[in-house]
Amino acid sequence: MEMEQKEQRSVRVWDVPTRVFHWALVACICVAVITGLKGGGAMLWHGRAGLAVVGLVVFRIVWGVVGSTYARFGQFMPTPGKILAYVRGQWQGVGHNPLGALSVFALLTVSLLQAVTGLFSNDEIAFEGYLAGMISSDLSLELTSIHRMGFLLLGALVGLHVLSIIFYALVKKHFLVPPMITGKTRVPADLPVQDAQGGSVKARVVALLIAAAAG
């Protein structure tokens, strides 16, 4: 006997700025990785991609305060209580689940660390970060070492993120990519959640201006 399918409805969860940020960050990290591995003349674009990452992450930090409902950090902050409830299968909601939220904060932190250390780095051959001339050569080399180690950490986090998406799709039949494209997700009709609210034009302008100043 087939199990009765629960009635579902569509909920708007990800606003346009959040979706644009997500895919722009993916693109910039890909460019930074490819050009960094290639080296040589490609390092010019490596530096530019890193500078773009700074602006993007700063934008996301601001948007995490003034953005729409599910983009705000306060809405998906992974508290111990939320994490425990999720592990026990008692968490209900839309947007980032508690474990996904941990991944988001880790990726934002490491991405910003990579971008900032890259600004002060140099390879002692042909590349020098945009701000490397503001500090001593020894400090620049130390930050370059951190930047190189951070590459491995960022790679591990990105890999874990991708594996999680695949796991949710294959095992839980919960597809995380489409909502980040369309902005909407399907939820049980009786789940007490509403469409994302907030994230006004004024908030977008403020976030963009702060990000532009940082980048």
* Domain boundary assignment for the chain: 11-189+198-214
Tens digit of each residue's pLDDT (9 = 90 or more) over 60-90: 999 999 999 999 999 999 999 999 999 998 8
Mean pLDDT of the 197-206 span: 94
In a 3-state reduction of DSSP, which class is residue 172? coil
Q: Provide the pLDDT confidence category of residue 153 given band limits of 50, 70 and 90.
A: very high
Tell me, what's the pLDDT at 172? 87
CA distances for 118 relative to 36, 53, 121, angstroms: 11, 11, 5
Mean pLDDT of the 202-206 span: 94
Q: Which residues, 6 or more positions from 201, have their beta carbon under 8 angstroms from its beta carbon?
A: none
Mean pLDDT of the 10-20 span: 96
C-alpha 15/C-alpha 35 separation (Å) is 31
CATH 1.10.8.50 fits 11-189+198-214, yes or no: no
- Is residue 17 within 8 A of residue 196, CB to CB? The reply is no
State the chain's mean pLDDT as an integer.
Answer: 92
Amino acid at 204: R
